[in-house]
Amino acid sequence: MKTSNSEVSAQANARGARAKAARPAEANNVFTIDGREIPFEPGQTVMQAALTAGVFVPHLCYHPEFRPHGSCKLCTMKVNGRPTTSCTLPAAPGMEVENNTTEINDKRRLLIQMLLVEGNHFCPSCEKSGNCKLQALGYALGVMSPHFTLFYPVRPVDASHPEMLLDFNRCILCELCIRASAEVDKKNVFALSGRGLKKHLIVNAESGRLADTDFAPTDKAAEVCPVGVILRKRRGFAVPIGKRTYDLKPINEQADRFKPLTPLPKEEF
């Protein structure tokens, strides 16, 4: 069988959900996460509703200013017993959602560990340390080690640009820079090439060098990277240890910072 059964039932579920949403009797827009009632606006995803209500949801590829992406899978929850990507799932009345459970967090830990072994993450020498979401989620979920065998991939740094640096060793392929550059900056500086484990970030230049693109430090794409890839030169370690974003409070106590902004840009075809 090429597609898992779950794909079939997902189609069925989606139809069921639409049918339900249309019925006025169930128009009160509330669902539950771990037993807590979460109100939502029609059109919101489960994740957006959760964050709006102050419930933290682990995430890496989600960003309040962008359309959901659904690739990191950190936000996976169980909805009516079925594992689902919460950042892309439209909220529906009456859903019973599990988020902060041992079972789900165990999987999330393994996902973090997969990302840690896939790249080269040496936090002590990383300018993003303390402000890095991958790291912060590792702390919040209690990830003590990479667990798996490290891949130690060889990924050369691009230091060609006078003001900016790309350290691909830490790229988690969340595509936020790609989306920011395409949708906000309208420059398309970044894209992906390769497939599977060989998937990697590329820049929009025949030379393959950032300096030969029209990238600017003022671009939106320069500020969205959740980890330490897109960095300003000569600006590292500006904030002292103890004062950095996730030194102050663990990420799971900062749900407010990730509240969605509306309206989001529309999908383009």
Residues 43-102 that bind ligand FES (CB under 6 A): 59-62, 70-75, 85, 87
- Residue 149 near another protein by CB under 8 A: yes
| Binding of residue 135 to ligand SF4 (CB under 6 A) | yes
157 binds, among ligand SF4, another protein, ligand FES, none (CB under 5 to 8 A by kind): none
How many residues interact with ligand FES (rule CB under 6 A)? Answer: 12
The residue (of 3 and 5) whose beta carbon lies closer to ligand FMN is 3
Q: Does 134 bind ligand SF4 (CB under 6 A)?
A: yes
Under the criterion CB under 8 A, does residue 261 sit at the interface with another protein?
Answer: no
* Listed residue (214, 186, 189, 183) closest to 203, CA to CA: 189
Cα–Cα distance measured from residue 147 to residue 42, given in angstroms and rounded to the nearest whole number: 41
Q: Which residues are 164's β-sheet partners? A: 232
Minimum separation from the CB atom of position 197 to another protein (A): 5
User: 191 with 210: CB under 8 angstroms?
Assistant: no
Selection from ligand FES, ligand SF4, another protein, none that 205 binds (CB < 5 to 8 A by kind) is: another protein
User: x/- site string to ligand SF4, residues 219 to 248, per CB under 6 A?
Assistant: -----xx-xxxx------------------
Out of 48, 85, 99, 131, point to the residue binding another protein (CB under 8 A).
Answer: 85
Question: Is 147 near another protein (CB under 8 A)?
Answer: yes
Q: Which residue is nearest to ligand FMN (CB)?
A: 2
- Among 10, 53, 255, 264, indicate the residue that binds another protein (CB under 8 A): 10
Residue closer to ligand FES, measured from CB, 164 or 176: 176
Question: Is 198 near another protein (CB under 8 A)?
Answer: yes
DSSP the chain: --S-HHHHHHHHHHHHHHHHHH-GGG-S-EEEETTEEEE--TT-BHHHHHHHTT-----SS--TTS-----S-TTEEEETTEEEETTTSBP-TT-EEE-S-HHHHHHHHHHHHHHHHHTT--GGG-TTTTS-HHHHHHHHHT--S--S---------B--SSSEEE-GGG-----HHHHIIIIISS---EEEES-GGG-EEEESSTT--GGGS---TTSGGGT--SSSSEEETT-TT-SPTTSSHHHHS-GGG-GGGGPPPSSPPPP--
Interaction between residue 177 and ligand SF4 (CB under 6 A) = yes
State in angstroms the smallest separation of the CB of 112 from another protein.
Answer: 9
Residues that bind ligand FES (CB under 6 A): 59-62, 70-75, 85, 87
